[in-house]
Every structure is written in C-alpha cells, then in structure tokens.
Amino acid sequence: MKTNDILIIDGLQYVNWNRELFEEAKLGGVNVIHVTIAYWENKKEVIENINTWGRRFIEHSDLIMPIHDASEIKIAQEEGKIGIIFGFQNCSPIEDDIHLIEAMHKLGVRIMQLSYNNQSLLATGCYEERDSGITRFGKEAIKEMNRLGMIIDMSHSAELSTLQAIELSTRPIAITHANPTTFHSALRNKSNDILKNLSQSEGMLGVSLYPFHLANGSDCLLEDFCNMVYDTAELMGIDRIGIGSDLCLNWDYTVLEWMRSGRWALAPDYGEGNAEQPSWPKQPDWFKNNLGFQNIINGLETASFSSQDIEKIMGQNWLNFFNSSFTASNS
C-alpha cells in the first residue's frame, strides 16, 4: 500500500511552513493537517497568526486550502491540495470571554484544547501537581463548543480534567496527539482509564510520534511503535485511533522556549526535556518529516494490520470523526 492510494490525515503538526515544506508534505501523501495556531497567544496575537495563514492560502493556493467543513476534505483531495484545519493548543485566545469561542469558530478554528500543561481558566494541565478538574468557565465552554461544532481536545490536560471533559461533553472529544502511558510513562501520555472512557464515548486518539512520547525516545523502533498501535487498537477499537504525529519542523530554540514557558515563567521550563538537552528532540529515523508516512504504513502492514484497518488509522477514522464533529448542534 502506498501513501497516494489512501487518505492521510495528521491529527496535529506544528511546523514553520514554507513552500518547500508544503511540497514535501504533498510528496509524502498527506491530505489534511490539523495545524497549531496558538499556544499562549491572546486574542490579538492569534488573529495575527490567522492573517499569516490567510497570506499562505493566497501565495500557495496550488498546494493548500482551508478546511472549515469535513466535506471540503474531499474537495482538497480531488484538487490535489493539502487541507488545513486550524486548532488551538490552549484556550488563551478566548481570554476570559465565552463569546470569543464563536468568534474564533467564525475565523475557522475547529479544535481547541482546554489547557496546555498548566492550569487554565477551563481545566488543569498535565504538569500541575493538583488536578481540580473542569472549572465553571470550562463547563460553559464545553457547552458552547458542542453547540458550534468545535472539537474539545484534551491532549495536554490532566487525568481528572480529561475524564470530566469526556463525561460533560455531549459530543465525542479528541486527544489529538498522545500515546498510552503503558507504552511510555510520560506525563503527557494517557492512562488506560482515559483511553477506555474515550473509546466508549466514541472519541478519537491520535497516536504521537514526538520523541518525548515514545518508548526509548528518538531511538524508538518502528516495530515497537506499530506494536503499540496494535495494542491500542485492541484496547480502544480500530475505529477510535488515528495519527497525531505532533511533528515539529523548521523552528529555532526560541520557539521551543515559547511553547514551554510562554509568558508565565521567568526561568526556563524544560517540560519533558532537561537542562542538559534543552533543544528540540531528534525525530526517529523512520519519521523525520512528512515523507515518513510510508514507513508507518509499511510498519503497520508488518504488524499484521489489514489494508482496511490501515486506511482507517491513516485517515478514514479522522474523516468520520470530523464529519460528525464539525456540524453545529441542534440543541
């Protein structure tokens, strides 16, 4: 099976895009990418990021197009373009105003995390010592996101907050980029309890290729990664998993500092890294960039996945999820 034979959707990337990287992604067979447009940005700053993407859509109109509705994914595929879905890795752009959720939705945002590592106004992040769960504002935000058709993402949130979000949401939620803690016990990865509840609620997990989420980090073997995918499919069901590579490319260290520390820390915060190795972790040799999706397909074939199941993991499951998630609620 080749990448160009199937639909490939990546549940999250953070790339400093240019034409060369768009062409590389297209060559790698990628059809749709959920792109990060906010970490700690406020309303004004995220609008500047959206404007930057607007210019990219004009300058590279032969390569990319925005996705606001799942039906546009088929259009992008037919036209040979990469569909771009906007997402926030934090709720900071809505500040303390629930009306900004609808405003951001009108600007094209379709996915928002309720917290990013730290305590937010909506939920607790995975690096906090105490998890107080979904806040009062968070409960109202969940209702509003459900109404609009904006996906709730709990990738960087803590255990109780994530379980409560699954329970409170009237629509399935996503964890767009993480792995089971049974594979690697990083704070960012997710317990079997979360994954079972996510599956039972018909939510989605995007398995991550970021080295800090992998067993043996940058030295993780393709075989071990694909065996983890197999075990996760056994736990959650084949229809509940996709790819959320968390691929980060073409950024310098100052951007990594922004991701980790934003404006909330005076001293460097290294997250899952450390002072001895503070910079970007090296990607595994079999997934250095968007050309690596063929290696994943090959690995899944070796791990005894059927062609139909590989198609589901590589993109069809995300498409089905977006089809049911991006529509406004009748309630």
Confirm whether pTM is higher than 0.95.
Answer: yes
Residue-wise pLDDT for 245-254, tens only, equals 999 999 999 9
What's the pLDDT score for residue 183?
A: 98
Contact 188, 178 (CB under 8 A): yes
Nearby residues of 158 by Cβ (< 8 Å), 6 or more positions away: 115, 123, 124, 125, 126, 128, 131
Place of tokens 């209702």: 143
- Cα 283 from Cα 250, distance rounded (Å): 12
pLDDT at 331: 57
Q: HEC profile for 64-81?
A: EEECCCCHHHHHHHHCCC
Strands (E), the chain: 9-15, 32-38, 64-66, 82-88, 109-113, 151-153, 174-175, 204-207, 241-243, 247-249
Q: Tens of pLDDT along 54-91?
A: 999 999 999 999 999 999 999 999 999 999 999 999 99
**Residues 131, 117: Cα–Cα separation, whole Å:** 11
Average pLDDT for 279-288? 96
CA distance 233 to 225: 12
Domains defined along the chain, listed by start: 3-325 (3.20.20.140)
How much is the pLDDT for 198?
Answer: 98
